[in-house]
Structure formats: C-alpha cells, structure tokens
Chain A
C-alpha cells in the first residue's frame, strides 16, 4: 500500500481539501485538527448533565426521546418473531396510552430487514417522512473485520431488502494504525453501495466505536473523517464494546457537527448508542444537543438514540407523570 494512493473522490472532501485529494492531504488535514481539552470536555459534559428538567419540560423531553429512538435488537439469537414483536412495540410503544409517539426506526441485522419491512407494512416510511424507518447494521457489524467486497455486498443486500438506513462500522484497526485513506475509501464505497435502483441513497450512519478509539482526539478525527467521506450520521458505538456512548464523547462529536455546519451549512446527524438505559441519562443527551448544536437537531433526521431498554424506562416515566404514582416493569412489555 502506498501512502500517496489517491483516495476515492467524495464531494465533501474535495470541497474542503481541494481537488488534490490524496491520503497525505487527508492525513495532514486530520492531524492538523486541534486537540481536545479532555478535562474541559468532561467538565462541560458533567455541567450539562446537572440541568434540572421537570414537569412540562420533562413531559416534552420524554415524548421527544421516544421519537428519536432507534429501537434496536442486535442479538445472535434474533428471530423473525423477535423482530416482529420489536416492530409491534415500535408502532405502539404503550398500548395503555395511545398518545405515545412512535419511535424513529427499528434497527436490526441485515438478514432481518425483510421481516421488519413486512411487519411494518403501511407504517414503513419507505423513503417518505412519515412512518417508521428500518435501519440495518452492515459491513460485518460489529467488528468490521471482513474484506471490502463482503462489506459492500452486506450493505447492498440490506438496501435491496428495503433498509432506509445503513449503520456501518469503520475499520478501527486501520484508523488506529494511521491508514486514514483506507477508512475513508471504505466509507465512500459503502456510501455508494447505499444507492438504490432509483438513484436515491439509504441514509448512512458511520459507527466510530469510540470505546476502541482510546482518546477524544481520535474521536474528533474519526468524526471529521466520517463526515468528509460522506456519512449522513456519525454514531458512537456498536453497543457491543464497553464503554459505549458516554456524554463527553457525544459532546465532542456534536462539536464536530456544529463546526461542520458553520463551515459548510450542512447538517450532519449524531447517534449515541449503547449504555443509555434511563430517561434521566437520555434527558442529559437532549440538553447537550440543544446546548451544543441547537434545538433544531432534536429531530429524527438529525439525532437518534440507539437503544433497546431505554424505551421501557421512558414509558415508565410517562406513566408516572400521567398517573401520579410510580409504575413498574409489569406495565411495559418484556423485550
């Protein structure tokens, strides 16, 4: 592999780095990004986490959180039946309260996409703004250890089956050993594999797996890399590696998204995933988004929670606010 190998063309990268897009220029750009003040970042995140959100604000936040959830099942033991019950929950999160909003999407493995699409039926958004999306993890999720051809086939397969969103993983090994060009090329290629027959593209979420990137500086670099290569969303984690999403990591990614918006006017989405289990935690993320990139980001096409158990906790909180007494796990479905 030569270091001067030209990376594949990507509109955004050419816009920012110029026509002379090589691995060297990309590397020089990414390594020239200023480092992160880790203590300051963690302090800022902790400060944002102390906001007290009560009564009507809390009710608003809980409903919005549900609308932002990618209801997820990514287990080896998943079955079509499990996916169908997940979809049923996505459509009707709380059968005892029909005012409960629907979640943004269901997130499943690629081979489960047909079952999710079938179960959603008319409620499937299928490219429109109404309804529930189907997101599929692809590119040899969660490790990403497969050849590019396999990753692209994995992606194309899910898109062909009807996935509206693709959650890809980056090659952390390549990223950590400094082969930014390879990571960049892969994202560009996967983006291309998201192309549907009619010329439109499935939304591409790029999973950085921040738990394996070790430093905030790496997270920031990987975020820039993913955006430059054409990612529509940057996502923290697969949920299979600890630590998964944390507030400081998400904050640092939101800062990149804010900077990109200032630079180009383009809005990139952020998806923290894994480890967000309580409404209280989720509300901290909502505050962080509103304070970092603005409230307009609190929409399903710009911010998502990747979660499975979070929804139940939000439903319990909703029931508590509505009934005035504490609810229990017997009053929500078992996933």
Chain B
C-alpha cells in the first residue's frame, strides 16, 4: 500500500491554540530557489489584537511563578527542542537552503542559547537587583520586575536562531510575548510553537504570528496594552515610525540590530524588559 504524505498546515499560535488567521489569509513559503514549501497563515491586525489579549491574560501567572519554576519550564523547552532537532534541521535546510551541517549548527546554537537564558531566571535578580546602603534602620531593596506584554519583531534573516534569541530573554523575567516571526522563514517559528505548547509553558505566554511584519508591527507598536517593543528584526521597516507610535503609550523600545551578531545573548536583553522596583523596609522592631 502506498502512503500519501500528509503535509502540515502551518497556523498561528495564540493563547496556547493553533488558529488560522481570522482573516483567512495565507501566503506561500518557498525555498531560496523558488520551490513551493508550504502555505503559512498571514496574520491580520485582529490576530495581533487577540494575541495581545492572550498575552495579557498570561502575564500574572508567568510573572507570579517562582524564578526557579520559570527556569525549569524554560529548560524543559530546551529538552523538547533537542528531541525534535531532526525536524528543525530539515526545515532550516529547506527554508534557508543551507547545508545540513549549517542547519545542525544553528539548532545547536539555538538550544544552547535557550538553556543559557533558562539559567538566568533565578540569577539575574541577584545581578541587577541590589540592597542599597541607607543611613537609617531600614533595608532599601531594588528588584527587577517584568515589564508585562512584550511585542517582538523577530530577526527576519534567520529561521530558528533569531527567533529564539529574541523570545527567550523576554521570557526570563516573566514577560509574556507576542512575536512576529520572520516573514521569509516562518515555518520554524510554528514548529517552535509546537515545542512550547508541549513544554509546560502556560498558554498565552508566547504567541507567534506569521505574516507581514510591515502590516502587523504598527498595530502592536500603537497598542495601548503592549508594554514594550523589541524591534530587533525591524531594521527593514519604517522603525522610526514604530518608535514614535510606541512613544504615545510610553513603551520600552529596543532598537533593531543587524548582521550576524544580531540579538547576541546578553544580560542586557533580559534587563531591557524589566522595571526597577525599589522598596523601603524596616529592619526590625526589636
């Protein structure tokens, strides 16, 4: 009996579910040589709106989880990612047209970065927080807290590594993420979403939109319920306009980065999406 291949429908990832775009639109994803690969969902502004609602609903639970627990969950993501490396490598080869060894290197690097960031969850507070010296019988403590909902335009010239490098740091402190994946290489983002959906990550903490960043990003930049905007992959867009739109609602904005070192792992990517809280506390009443 012959087997007829069952091709995968690449959909969006919103609130832990995989819906099609509410607009019903799709677009063709092809290899660099122009061979058809798959149809990907083309998200609309309303999908972005729904994703922000899902992310907002997930913030309190994710930010409220212990740092240790967040680290465990993120490490679990790396474990599941490792188990599905063959699928990721295959997709990278087909989308980017690179060699199998280059694809393997990219998956290796993506998993390493994910683990590196997972380790930071219960450590970055000690590094960037502080017990401030004061002249009185008080503690004065500074602690970083997650900003809230972070909208990310993922690096456009990378399928998996760029996405991981942008999403993982925002998750460390407890933010929820709405990420617009690479328009040219969207397939890895949805496969990563399948990994996230099966890794104990609470639904809504990461929401993945595929489609045109030029179309979706302005809606996220002006959205009053988005707290921060990571424009790392928005270099080719009118990102100055996005910054201006973001300024209307006082969002934190992280600027575009280009080149092979874009979104390189750094503590600054974690602290970029945190707020500093300083509290006074009496030492004792004795």
Identify the A interface with B (CB < 8 A): 319, 324-331
* Interface set, chain B 222-262, CB cutoff 8 A to A: 222-226, 245, 248
Q: Does the CB pair A326–B56 fall under 8 Å? A: no
**Least Cβ distance of A94 to chain B in Å?**
14
| Option from B49, B225, B245, B248 in Cβ contact (under 8 Å) with A329 | B225
- Check if B56 sits within 8 Å of A329, measured CB to CB: yes
- Closest 6 pairs (CB-CB, A-B): A328-B225, A325-B222, A328-B224, A326-B223, A327-B224, A326-B49
- Chain A residue at minimal CB-CB distance from B220: A326
Nearest-CB distance from B6 to chain A (Å)?
32
Write out the residue numbers on chain A whose beta carbons fall within 8 Å of the beta carbon of B52.
Answer: 326, 328
Residues of B within 8 A of A (CB): 49, 52, 56, 219, 222-226, 245, 248
Determine the distance from Cα of A331 to Cα of B225 in the docked complex, in whole angstroms. Answer: 9
Q: Chain B: which residue is nearest A324 at the CB level?
A: B222
Residues of B within 8 A of A329 (CB): 56, 225
SS class, residues of chain A in contact with chain B: loop
Query: Using Cβ atoms and an 8 Å threshold, which residues of chain B touch A319?
Result: 224
Chain A nearest CB, measured from B209 CB (Å): 14
Q: How far is the CB of B46 from chain A (nearest CB, A)?
A: 10
| 27 examples of A-B residue contacts, CB within 8 angstroms | A319-B224, A325-B219, A325-B222, A325-B223, A325-B224, A325-B245, A325-B248, A326-B49, A326-B52, A326-B219, A326-B222, A326-B223, A326-B224, A326-B225, A327-B224, A327-B225, A328-B52, A328-B56, A328-B223, A328-B224, A328-B225, A328-B226, A329-B56, A329-B225, A330-B224, A330-B225, A331-B224
Q: How far is the CB of B47 from chain A (nearest CB, A)?
A: 12
* Listed residue (A319, A328, A331) with the most chain B CB atoms within 10 angstroms of its CB: A328
What's the Cα separation between A180 and B183 when bound, in Å?
65
Given contacts A325-B224, A328-B225, 16 further A-B contacts (CB under 8 A): A325-B222, A325-B223, A325-B245, A325-B248, A326-B49, A326-B52, A326-B219, A326-B223, A327-B224, A327-B225, A328-B52, A328-B224, A328-B226, A329-B225, A330-B225, A331-B224
B226: A residues at CB distance < 8 A: 328
Q: How far is the CA of A319 from the CA of B224 in the complex (A)?
A: 10
Q: Roughly how many angstroms separate A325 CA and B222 CA in the complex, as a whole number?
A: 6
* Distance to closest chain B CB from A218 (angstroms): 35
Distance of A209 Cα from B93 Cα, bound (Å)? 60
Q: Which residue of B lies closest to A319 (CB)?
A: B224
Inter-chain contacts of B225 with A (CB < 8 A) = 326-330
Give the distance to chain B from A325, nearest Cβ to Cβ, in Å.
4
Q: Which residues of A contact B224 (CB under 8 A)?
A: 319, 325-328, 330-331
The residue among B52, B56, B219, B225 with the most chain A CB atoms within 10 A of its own CB is B225
A329 to B224, alpha carbons, bound, how many Å? Answer: 9
How near does chain B come to A133, taking the closest CB pair, in angstroms? Answer: 33
Give bound CA distance, A329 to B52, whole Å: 11
A324 to B226, CA, bound (A): 15
* Chain B: CB-nearest residue to A327: B224
